[in-house]
Structure 1
Amino acid sequence: MALYEWNASTAGLLGTALGHSEIVLRNAIDTALTARHQRLHRAGHWLDDPHRELDQRARDDIETARARLQRAGAPALPGKLIAELTFGFWRFLLARRYTTTLWSGIRPGFPHMPGRDRRVIEAPVARLHLLRNRIAHHEPLLAEPLPDRYDDLLTLVGYVDPALRTWLEAITDIPHQLARRP
């Protein structure tokens, strides 16, 4: 029972921290791609994908998000649409398929990331996506390298802004929680 309780508490703390990091990730990508869209003098919002740079899965995700907003009676404004898209949507914008198209536009969203290789950010985001799914499906975290995932989370946020990393460290009690494992 002690392990079960520890797992549930840890999942809650990590889930909260992952939520904050997802918001940082999606806002960084959106800000960067919005700037790119404007630099290229394109009308509308980058999610409108006027040059069909997004793959079919991404376009489907956007349409699904729009439909959810419509069913809820909410306008499909860019900010609402950004918030409605899944962690997976943002994770896959960092995939190899976008290296020659979107990556150069996304990269400025992570001004503190070393180098230019998209894999530097894709790898921790992919691992966090898997952890987020484990937490969302109430799976045990006992075999997960949680200190490494916490480091991934802090690294991701720090790539956007070191002050956000410091803030996230200050509001979470994850290291203490991990140390309390029975």
Structure 2
Amino acid sequence: MTMAPYDVLRRALSAERLSTYERIASACSPDVTAESLYLWNMRMCDALMMPVHLCEVVIRNAAASVLVRQHGPRWPWNEAFRRRLPASASASAKAALEQAAHRATSTSDIVANLPMVFWQQLFTCRFDSTLWIPALSRVLQHAPSAHPSAIRKAIHADIGRIRHLRNRIAHHEPILERDIGADLAAIGRLIHARCPHTLSWLQRHERATTILAASPLAGRP
């Protein structure tokens, strides 16, 4: 007996994977199916990687420039800096730097290989006095006017949001129930703080906003 096309797809992707989409589709109008939701989710994930990519590169370069200013061009090997890094968590900044430094020999290679968690953990209060109060207004000069520690705290939260989004995309998880508009706003704030021109360039080329506007869940209560 020939299986229906959706059943074939369901077998290939697994019932567990499609169950989330089936649950959401069951609360929507009849023209919204689990298949259409899964397809939109894939398109949205693909489109989001461009803004996420640009955001990560811009923020890590900004943070790296502060580290060069404070600790010199070979800051990854600066022991005073390493001792200040948080080391309690399994995904700690200290462990990430040690791993990257083991594999690479130049600072630029290390910057390119450090995970986003490293850069997020730089934006914690332990670095206010050494990094952000002296230098934040110079490297993120278009951030909102506020005390550097308040700006740093907001940046930490925005990076955390983007990390979570990036991880869901990387693990092929559903994102259609996220507030993707808020994700894009966080990306926009981070890039704008460093370079409004770069944000304008991104906005001219990214497709995520258009795909979001065509969400099959638009207008859903």
Structure 2 length-normalised TM: 0.72
Distance 1:53 1:168 in 2: 35
Q: For residue 29 of structure 2, what is the aligned residue in structure 1?
A: none
Runs of 4+ deviating beyond 6 Å: none
Distance 1:147 1:121 in 2: 17
Matched length = 171
Structure 1 length-normalised TM: 0.87
* AA in 1 matched with 2:154: V
* AA in 2 matched with 1:87: M
* 2:140 equivalent to 1:113: no
Q: For residue 39 of structure 2, what is the aligned residue in structure 1?
A: 5
How far did 1:105 drift?
5.0
Structure 1 vs Structure 2: percent identity of aligned residues? 30
Distance 1:181 1:55 in 2: 40
1:87-142 Cα deviation digits (max 9, x unpaired): 11111111233233332355132111122221121221111111111111111001
Change in CA separation of 1:15 and 1:101 when aligned onto 2, cut-off 3 Å: same
Correspondence 1:21-60 to 2 at 5 A: 21-38=55-72, 45-51=74-80, 52-56=83-87, 57-60=92-95
| Conserved? CA contact 2:70–2:130, under 8 Å | no
Gaps of 5+ in 2: 1-34, 217-221
Q: Superposition RMSD on alpha carbons, in Å?
A: 1.6
Match of 1:65 among 94, 100, 110: 100
Distance 1:36 1:23 in 2: 20
Gaps of 5+ in 1: 39-43, 70-75
Distance 1:175 1:89 in 2: 28
Based on CA coordinates, which of the two structures has the bigger radius of gyration? 2
| Conserved? CA contact 1:53–1:101, under 8 Å | no
Change in CA separation of 1:165 and 1:101 when aligned onto 2, cut-off 3 Å: same
* 2:127 equivalent to 1:98: yes
Partner SS state of residue 100, structure 1? helix
Correspondence 1:134-145 to 2 at 5 A: 134-145=168-179
Q: For residue 83 of structure 1, what is the aligned residue in structure 2?
A: 112
Distance 2:133 2:84 in 1: 13
Partner SS state of residue 79, structure 2? coil
| Conserved? CA contact 1:36–1:105, under 8 Å | no
Correspondence 1:140-159 to 2 at 5 A: 140-159=174-193
Partner SS state of residue 130, structure 2? coil
